[in-house]
Amino acid sequence: MSTSRRDFLKTSAFSLAATGLLSEKLFASNAPQIILGIQLYSVRDAMSKDAAGTLKQIANIGYGYVEHASYSRDRQFYHYSATDFKKLLDDLGLKMLSGHTQLVKKHWDAAKNDFTDEWKYTVDDAATAGQRYVISPWLDESLRTNFSDFKQFMDIFNKSGELCKKSGMQFGYHNHDFEFNTVLEGKKLYDLILANTDPALVIQQLDIGNLYNGGAVAADIVKQYPGRFVSMHVKDEIKSTGGNEKYESTVLGEGIVHTKDVIDAGRSTGTTYFIVEQESYQGKSSLETAKEDYVIMKKWGY
C-alpha cells in the first residue's frame, strides 16, 4: 500500500509534534523546582505568642515552606526541640528547608582547629529539622574593620560549608546593608565575601530589600553576580515611616525594588528558593501582609 506525500507529511508532522511535546515534558521534569516560602521573622510576634497556631495560619494561606529565625542556645526552635518542631511542621504539611542561625567567632576553637560543640549541635539540629541550608544572617562588626580577621573568618565560613556538607546540607550567608557601604582593602565588603567564599561550600541568600539601606540596588547586584544566589529574600521597600533606616519593607509590588523583575532575573540564572519576608506592615497585621504577599507571588508565577 503506497503512502501519499500528503499522508507522509501529515504523519511526519504529527510525529515531530509528539516528539516536541515529549521533549518539553522531559525538559520540564528536569527543570529545577521553584520553592516559595516565608521567613517566620515576618510573623515574629505571632510566633512568640502561639507558634503552632501561627504556623497553622501560614499553612492555611498556602505556604508550603518556612524559614526559621529562632534557634536558641538550649537547642530549640520556638521552644520546640528539633524533633518536635519537625513533627509540628509535618502535621501541618509544612517543610523548613532553611533557617537563620548566626555563626560567630566563639563557635570556632582555634586551639583545637575545630568548631565548638555548640555549633556542631546547631548543624545537627538543623539536619534533624529537615533543613537543606544553614544560613548565617550577620557578620560581627569586629570582622568588618580588619581584612586579616575578615579573611580568616571567611575561611571558617568555608569550613562550616564542609561541616554542613557531611549532613547533606549547605552553609550560607544572608546580607543586610552594611556589606554594601563598608570598604576593606579598597573593596566593598560584599564583593570580598563573594570573592573569599567557595560557591560549592557557601551559598548566598540575597536579601533584595536590605541592601537599599546600604546604597545598593538589587537589580545591579543580581546582574553583577549571576548564578551566585541559590536563595533570595523577596521584599519590596518604601521610604521609612520611622526608625533610623531610610527604607522599610512593604507589600510586594508597592515599593521601589521592582521585585518581580529582580526575582525573575534570579530565577533565570539559577535561584530556586524564594523566601517572602516583610518586617514592617504600615498599619496591617503581619499575617494579613503575609497573605497579600503570597497572593502576589502566585500571581507572578511562583
Instruction: Give residues with Cβ within 8 angstroms of 262, minimum separation 6.
Output: 208, 218, 219, 222, 232
What are the two backbone dihedrals, phi and then psi, of residue 8, each rounded to the nearest 5 degrees? -65, -45
At 228, the amino acid letter reads R
**What grid cell was written down for 266?**
534570579
Helices and strands counted in the chain (H then E):
10, 14
Q: Within a 13 Å sphere around the CA of 102, how many CA atoms are in the beta-carbon half?
A: 13
How much is the pLDDT for 161? 98
**What grid cell was written down for 152?**
580568616
Instruction: Give residues with Cβ within 8 angstroms of 183, minimum separation 6.
Output: 189
DSSP string, 120-143: HHHHHHHHHTT-SEEEE----GGG
Residue that has been written with the C-alpha cell 527543570 in this structure: 31
Using the 8-state DSSP alphabet, how is residue 214 labeled?
G
The string of pLDDT tens digits covering residues 161-219 is 999 999 999 999 999 999 999 999 999 999 999 999 999 999 999 999 999 999 999 99
**What grid cell was written down for 129?**
529539622
pTM recorded for the entire structure: 0.90
Over its length of 302 residues, how does the chain's per-residue pLDDT go in tens digits? 333 333 333 333 334 334 343 444 434 456 689 999 999 999 999 999 999 999 999 999 999 999 999 999 899 999 999 999 999 999 999 999 999 999 999 999 999 999 999 999 999 999 999 999 999 999 999 999 999 999 999 999 999 999 999 999 999 999 999 999 999 999 999 999 999 999 999 999 999 999 999 999 999 999 999 999 999 999 999 999 888 999 999 999 999 999 999 999 999 999 999 999 999 999 999 999 999 999 999 999 99
**What grid cell was written down for 5?**
506525500
Residue that has been written with the C-alpha cell 511542621 in this structure: 89
The three-point CA angle 61-132-124 to 5° equals 115
What are the two backbone dihedrals, phi and then psi, of residue 36, each rounded to the nearest 5 degrees? -110, 125
Helix pair angle (82-91, 51-61), 10° resolution: 40
